[in-house]
Structure 1
Amino acid sequence: MDHVLILGGTQFFGKRLVHTLLENGKKVTLATRGQKADPFGDKVQRLAIDREDSQSLKEAFANQTFDIVYDQSCFSPQEALDSANALRGKARKYIFTSSQAVYDFGTNRTEEEFDPYHFSFNYKTRQEYPGYLGYQEAKRAAESVLFTQTDFEVTAVRLPIVIGPDDYTKRLTFHVDKVKKNEPIGIENPDARYSFIHSKEAAEFLYLMGASSFTGPINPGCEEDISLLELVGKIEKQTRHKAIITNILTKENTSPYSLPGPWSINTNKVKQLGYTFSSLDSVLEEIIM
């Protein structure tokens, strides 16, 4: 039986990942701050850690060994380095939940368009990475640490936007609610295109990467991308309400997906490895209510 450590795992598709691991007979240990309840009862072991306190990691992982580590909660290179040091010699494989945000704005981004092996950065705390550009740098730098400064078999899963009925961020729901209530949606660039993945398939893919011999960065997700204008159009069709779109952005109306440019990925590599994902149309039809 594989012993799996999850750093995080108490929210959104992280919970789905835990369920998948347990259903497949894995021994699971969750390492979190212990501030969020989880639904797993005595089916998992728990360790208390603080990602910003390296000593807490050393103490939590002392006298522990794992087969696979899933890192769901890393938001700085310092956290990546501290975790790697605390787990040195204690695990074989490290699956890092990264993001399509490692790529510059654009569409059809391939894995080769960000090289973590040749990325220069400064070590900062998560508080020093504000906004989406800060998030981009943090994920880039964390990947660089894991690929260049550790002895693990590392896979960086560069997830696109994750959506599902269990999405606690309510970012897609924001748009649906605005359309139903005939309230304006502020969108800076309605033609910007984005990639998505269902939360269930994100968790399943992470699980499969733990069982796979693949290492390196990988782009999973729906093959198709979609513009925000097209997304709102699908909401209009399913809700039978007309959307109000404005380029005058306010705190109340700005779309959570409204960014200065597009972010979408090329999924050819993951398809070549034999993995398939639901069509974006079917995913959106399921979730838009």
Structure 2
Amino acid sequence: MRLLVLGGTEFAGRAVVEAALARGWDVTVLNRGRQAAAPGVRSLTGDRTAPGGLAALDAPGEGDWDAVVDTWSAAPRAVHEAARLLRGRARRYVYVSSCSVYAWAPPAGYTEDAPVVEGAAPDAGQSDYARDKRGGELAALDGFGERDSVLVRAGLLLGPYENVGRLPWWLTRIARGGPVLAPGPHDLPLQYVDVRDLAGWILGAVEQELSGPYNLMSPQGHTTMGGLLEACVRATGSDAELRWTAPRTVLDAGIEPWTELPVWVPPGTDLHDALHAADVSRAVAAGLVCRPVGETVADTWSWLASIGGVAPQRPDRPRRTLDPEVEAKVLAAGGGAGTGGVSGTTS
């Protein structure tokens, strides 16, 4: 297989590149050249936000590809231009979108048929994330049509190379040890996908010549908040004590779900249903297999240690931090009941 990855040096794009190389595929990447590409790829330089940014794809000697993988998440003009340029030169266009494209608030169990937001126009500037991602989907469809486009509506992505600050934040916090504010309930179901499982599914979709939209994350309840944080304790070898704290206590302290406490959102809310309760049966039927949470956590910790313990951070995503003084104040006020506390508690 000949694969073109637009980007290919960070997180999801990097995972796709490494998975394709492991299968013996011929991989070309196009990016701004600010970071080194994986060994073994053909690297082209181009800035998709600049005039002529795709010119390297038209250089003498550049041929056709079996598939293109595009992870773009800003204004959809870049997807529109790439898809129009590459139609007729690639057999399939895989656009890594997001479950954020669904109109708010999608009910628990929502499928790919749920209503979506209005996409940003190709000639519009950057809009909000959901409209930009939907605009990217429409741009892919405009260039390649429904039969030759795959819309990967990813959920929460975790794993090595993460540059958003979710799992690395938890690993770093737990590695410091001591009492840790663990937002409950302990058995709160989570839904996410290891970026390497996402990559493997994408390559399988190319091989199977799939098309259309797919919710791409683990089945509901693949793990729990307790399973995730306990895996962090094991991976880091920390003496951290998880102090399980009721959701109402966390919220009353003014702590923001998802941002100040990454991954976590209170049960019984629209936000939890949207992020952790999608129907993924279509992706599973098409070959999605999700590795255990312990493997994701341990491998992410190993990667983080290999780069000095400081994860890269995308400039367009807010840095997630919980003020240590706020955490200490909640714990000192009696928040948290130790490792076994508030299992199943929602208030």
Distance apart, 1:208 and its partner CA: 0.9
Aligned residues of 1:84 and 1:146 also touching (Cα < 8 A): yes
Q: How many aligned residue pairs are there?
A: 275
Whole-Å separation in 1 of the counterparts to 2:141 and 2:209: 16
Distance apart, 1:15 and its partner CA: 2.2
Whole-Å separation in 2 of the counterparts to 1:281 and 1:18: 22
Aligned residues of 2:66 and 2:92 also touching (Cα < 8 A): yes
Report the equivalent of 1:254.
260
Change in 2 beyond 3 A, CA 1:284/1:55 = closer
Distance apart, 1:175 and its partner CA: 2.6
Distance apart, 1:237 and its partner CA: 7.4
Distance apart, 1:33 and its partner CA: 0.5
* 1:178-217 → structure 2 map (5 Å cutoff): 178-179=173-174, 181-182=177-178, 194-217=190-213
Residue 210 of structure 1 aligns to a residue whose secondary structure is helix
Whole-Å separation in 1 of the counterparts to 2:177 and 2:218: 29
- 1:45 aligned to which of 33, 42, 50: 42
Aligned residues of 1:190 and 1:227 also touching (Cα < 8 A): no
Distance apart, 1:243 and its partner CA: 3.0
Q: Is 2:187 the partner of 1:175?
A: no
Distance apart, 1:233 and its partner CA: 6.1
In angstroms, what is the RMSD of aligned CA positions? 3.4
Whole-Å separation in 2 of the counterparts to 1:224 and 1:144: 28
- 2:290 aligned to which of 270, 278, 281: 278
The aligned amino acid for 1:220 is L
Whole-Å separation in 2 of the counterparts to 1:183 and 1:76: 42
Report the equivalent of 2:137.
143
Aligned residues of 1:4 and 1:29 also touching (Cα < 8 A): yes
The aligned amino acid for 1:268 is S
Distance apart, 1:54 and its partner CA: 4.4
Distance apart, 1:115 and its partner CA: 5.0
Whole-Å separation in 2 of the counterparts to 1:91 and 1:288: 33
Residue 150 of structure 2 aligns to a residue whose secondary structure is strand
Relative to total residues, which structure has the larger strand share, 1 or 2?
A: 1
Change in 2 beyond 3 A, CA 1:113/1:163 = same
Change in 2 beyond 3 A, CA 1:178/1:26 = closer
Aligned residues of 1:22 and 1:28 also touching (Cα < 8 A): yes
Report the equivalent of 1:267.
280
Whole-Å separation in 1 of the counterparts to 2:8 and 2:300: 25
Report the equivalent of 2:327.
none
Aligned residues of 2:4 and 2:65 also touching (Cα < 8 A): yes
Whole-Å separation in 2 of the counterparts to 1:209 and 1:266: 18
The aligned amino acid for 2:89 is K
Report the equivalent of 1:160.
155
TM-score by length of 2: 0.67
Aligned residues of 2:97 and 2:151 also touching (Cα < 8 A): yes
Residue 109 of structure 2 aligns to a residue whose secondary structure is strand
Report the equivalent of 2:218.
222
Report the equivalent of 1:69.
68
Whole-Å separation in 2 of the counterparts to 1:15 and 1:46: 13
Q: Is 2:247 the partner of 1:241?
A: no
Distance apart, 1:234 and its partner CA: 4.0
Name whichever of 221-230 and 79-88 sits farther off: 221-230
Report the equivalent of 1:33.
32
Whole-Å separation in 2 of the counterparts to 1:121 and 1:27: 33
- Structure 1 stretches lacking a partner, 5+ long: none
The aligned amino acid for 2:260 is T
Report the equivalent of 2:313.
none
Change in 2 beyond 3 A, CA 1:183/1:140 = farther
Change in 2 beyond 3 A, CA 1:232/1:95 = closer
Q: Is 2:16 the partner of 1:17?
A: yes
Distance apart, 1:187 and its partner CA: 6.9
